[in-house]
Amino acid sequence: MRAQFDRFGDWRLALAAFNAGPGAVARHGGVPPYRETAHYVDAILTAMPAAQRLEATVVMPP
């Protein structure tokens, strides 16, 4: 995932590249018009704020 973010510089495009492949993102100049990819990207981006809040509240034992 980090490699895709480094390549595309955008989380939406990095997620699309992870799901559909970087070639598809490059060919389409953005998120490819694949239903599965669009749903995947939207689901992850929607869940990210909640995951970040949860991560911030986790207390690790000493």
Both ends of the chain: CA-CA distance in Å? 30
Predicted TM-score of the model (pTM)? 0.82
Domain boundaries, the chain: 2-57
Angle between helices 35-57 and 11-20 (to 10 degrees): 120
| Residue 5 confidence (pLDDT) | 96
Distance CA 25, CA 10 (A): 12
CA 40 – CA 60 distance, rounded (Å): 30
Would you give per-residue pLDDT tens digits along the chain (62 residues)? 999 999 999 999 999 999 999 999 999 999 999 999 999 999 999 998 887 887 777 676 77
